[in-house]
C-alpha cells in the first residue's frame, strides 16, 4: 500500500481550518504541517482549533514556511491566504522551489492569465522546471460560474448567450473576504474606497469570463464589471463580520464579456452576510440560450465555505497526477467527492 498523501496548509483562517477538518475525515491522507503568521495561532496545535475528534498528530502551527517545507516532506501545499495572484505569487514560488505541488484558494489563480499573464508564465515555467503542478480553485471562481457553465454547454449544438447568477451568503468566510467586500463599512467609507480603488468586491469575474471564453474557443473583445453597495436595514452578525443598519452588508457585482462587440457572457453576483435576515433567498442559476436552451437552478446556494474547502481537498489527487505546470480547472478531470481511500486515485 502506498504511503498516505501528505498535505501542508499555509493559512489557518476560516478556509484553512475547514480544509484541515475535512482532511482529517478522509482515508489515505495526512496533514503534515500548518503555517500561519497569526501570533494567536503560532506554537499551538492545529487540532486545538478544530471541531473534529482525531488521534492525528497535533502538529504545532509554525510561522516559518521554509522550515516547515524542509522538516515535513509533503506532496501538496494548500495555500489559503490571499485573493490576488500578485499577493500570493511569492508564496507559490517558495513552495514550487521546494518541489511541492500547490493548490491555491486565491480567486485570481483560478485563471491567472486573465489578469497577470507575465506572472502566470513565470509560475508555469518554474513549476515545469521543478516538476510540480499549480492549480487555483474554489467554489467561485473554479466551479459554479465557470466550470459548471462549461459542462452544461457540452450538451448544446450552439451557444448564443450565457448568463450565470449566484446569490450567496458571505457568512462562512473570514476577515480577508469581509475586508474585500466592505462588510460593516459606512456608505461614506464605501464611496471613499471606491474612489481610491481599494474596495475589491467579488474577485474572480474576469477569471470566470475568460475561462468560459477559453473553454468555448471564442475570443473576448471586451470585458467590464460593475459594483454597487448592499446596505443593511437591520443589525447582522456572522462569525467574522458585523453590520449596523445603514452600513454595508456586502456588494452587488455584475460583469459582461463581449464577443465581436456583442454581449456573450453576463454575470450577476450579489454577496452579503446573513442575507436571510432581510428575506433574500440564496441560489445558483445558469441560463444558456442556444440549441437547446438550458436553465439550471440550485436552491439554496451551494455553501461557499463548504464548497471552497471541498474543491481544494477533492482536487488533491488530480493535481498530483497532472503533468507539471500551471493548470486551470479546464485542464484537470471533473471534480468529484472522494469517498474512498485517496491513495487509490493516484496513478
Residue 230, domain CATH? 3.30.360
Cα(169)–Cα(249) distance, integer angstroms = 10
Q: pLDDT tens digit string along 239-251?
A: 999 999 999 999 9
Q: pLDDT tens digit string along 142-165?
A: 999 999 999 999 999 999 999 999
The answer on 109 and 152 residing in a single domain is no
Residue 125, domain CATH? 3.40.50.720
Give the burial class of 120: count Cβ atoms within 10 A of its Cβ; 0-12 exposed, 13-18 middle, 19 or more buried. buried
The answer on 173 and 276 residing in a single domain is yes
Per-residue pLDDT averaged across 5-23, rounded? 97
The answer on 36 and 13 residing in a single domain is yes
Residue where the block lists cell 510561522: 63
Residue where the block lists cell 473534529: 52
DSSP string for residues in 148-200: HHHHHHTT-SEEEEEEEEEEEE-TTS-HHHHHHTTTT-BHHHHHHHHHHT---
Domain with 212 in it: 147-301
The answer on 333 and 195 residing in a single domain is no
pLDDT, residue 338, reads: 98
Cα(107)–Cα(142) distance, integer angstroms = 8
**DSSP β-bridge partners for residue 286:** 164, 296
pLDDT, residue 64, reads: 97
The answer on 276 and 322 residing in a single domain is no
Cα(31)–Cα(6) distance, integer angstroms = 6
The answer on 186 and 87 residing in a single domain is no
Per-residue pLDDT averaged across 125-141, rounded? 99
- Domains: count for the chain: 2
pLDDT, residue 7, reads: 99
At residue 282 the predicted structure's pLDDT band, cuts being 50, 70 and 90, is very high
The answer on 269 and 208 residing in a single domain is yes
Cα(33)–Cα(123) distance, integer angstroms = 23
Q: pLDDT tens digit string along 193-246?
A: 999 999 989 999 999 999 999 999 999 999 999 999 999 999 999 999 999 999
For residue 158, which of 260, 258, 264 has the smallest C-alpha distance?
A: 264
DSSP string for residues in 270-327: EEESSGGGGTPPPEEEEEEEEES-EEEEESSPPPHHHHHHHHHHHTHHHHHHSPSEEE
Strand order in the sheet with 248-259: 222-231, 248-259, 262-272, 158-169, 283-291, 294-298
Q: pLDDT tens digit string along 34-58?
A: 999 999 999 999 999 998 889 999 9
The answer on 116 and 225 residing in a single domain is no
The answer on 289 and 235 residing in a single domain is yes
The answer on 50 and 31 residing in a single domain is yes
**DSSP β-bridge partners for residue 79:** 10, 104
pLDDT, residue 176, reads: 86
Distance of CA 2 to the CA centre of its chain: 29
pLDDT, residue 321, reads: 99
Cα(120)–Cα(283) distance, integer angstroms = 32
Cα(85)–Cα(119) distance, integer angstroms = 8
Q: pLDDT tens digit string along 303-346?
A: 999 999 999 999 999 999 999 999 999 999 999 999 999 999 99
Which sign does the torsion angle of CA 153, 156, 160, 161 carry? negative
The answer on 66 and 32 residing in a single domain is yes
Cα(68)–Cα(71) distance, integer angstroms = 5
pLDDT, residue 53, reads: 85
The answer on 217 and 167 residing in a single domain is yes
Distance of CA 233 to the CA centre of its chain: 29
Integer distance in angstroms from the first to the last C-alpha of the chain?
13
pLDDT, residue 1, reads: 72
Amino acid at each position: 500500500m502506498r504511503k498516505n498523501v501528505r498535505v501542508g496548509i499555509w493559512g489557518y483562517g476560516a478556509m484553512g481550518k475547514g480544509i484541515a477538518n475535512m482532511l482529517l475525515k478522509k482515508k489515505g491522507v495526512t496533514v503534515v504541517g500548518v503555517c500561519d503568521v497569526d501570533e494567536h495561532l503560532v506554537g499551538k496545535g492545529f487540532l486545538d482549533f478544530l471541531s473534529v475528534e482525531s488521534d492525528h498528530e497535533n502538529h504545532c502551527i509554525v510561522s516559518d514556511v521554509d522550515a516547515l517545507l524542509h522538516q515535513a516532506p509533503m506532496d501538496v501545499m494548500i495555500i489559503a491566504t490571499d485573493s490576488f495572484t500578485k499577493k500570493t505569487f511569492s508564496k507559490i514560488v517558495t513552495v514550487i522551489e521546494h518541489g511541492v505541488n500547490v493548490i491555491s484558494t486565491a480567486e485570481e489563480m483560478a485563471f491567472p492569465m486573465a489578469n497577470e499573464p507575465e506572472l502566470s508564465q513565470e509560475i508555469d515555467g518554474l513549476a515545469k522546471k521543478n516538476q510540480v503542478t499549480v492549480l487555483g480553485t474554489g467554489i467561485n471562481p473554479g466551479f459554479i460560474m465557470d466550470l459548471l457553465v462549461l459542462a452544461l454547454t457540452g450538451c448544446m449544438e450552439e451557444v448564443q448567450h450565457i448568463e450565470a447568477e449566484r446569490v450567496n451568503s458571505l457568512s462562512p468566510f473570514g476577515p480577508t473576504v469581509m475586508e474585500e467586500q466592505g462588510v460593516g463599512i459606512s456608505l461614506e467609507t464605501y464611496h471613499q474606497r471606491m474612489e481610491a480603488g481599494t474596495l475589491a468586491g467579488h474577485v474572480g469575474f474576469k477569471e470566470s469570463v475568460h475561462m468560459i471564453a477559453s473553454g468555448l474557443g471564442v475570443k473576448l473583445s471586451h470585458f467590464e464589471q460593475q459594483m454597487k453597495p448592499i446596505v443593511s436595514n437591520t443589525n447582522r452578525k456572522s462569525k467574522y463580520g458585523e453590520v449596523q443598519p445603514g452600513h454595508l452588508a456586502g456588494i452587488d457585482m455584475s460583469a459582461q464579456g463581449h464577443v465581436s462587440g456583442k454581449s456573450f457572457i453576463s454575470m450577476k453576483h450579489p454577496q452579503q452576510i446573513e442575507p436571510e435576515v432581510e428575506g433574500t433567498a440564496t441560489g445558483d442559476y445558469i441560463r444558456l440560450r442556444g440549441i437547446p436552451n438550458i436553465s439550471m437552478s440550485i436552491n439554496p446556494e451551494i455553501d461557499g465555505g463548504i464548497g471552497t474547502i471541498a474543491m481544494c481537498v477533492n482536487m488533491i489527487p488530480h493535481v498530483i497526477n497532472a503533468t507539471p505546470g500551471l493548470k486551470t480547472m479546464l485542464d484537470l478531470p471533473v471534480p468529484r467527492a472522494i469517498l474512498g481511500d485517496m491513495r487509490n486515485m493516484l496513478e
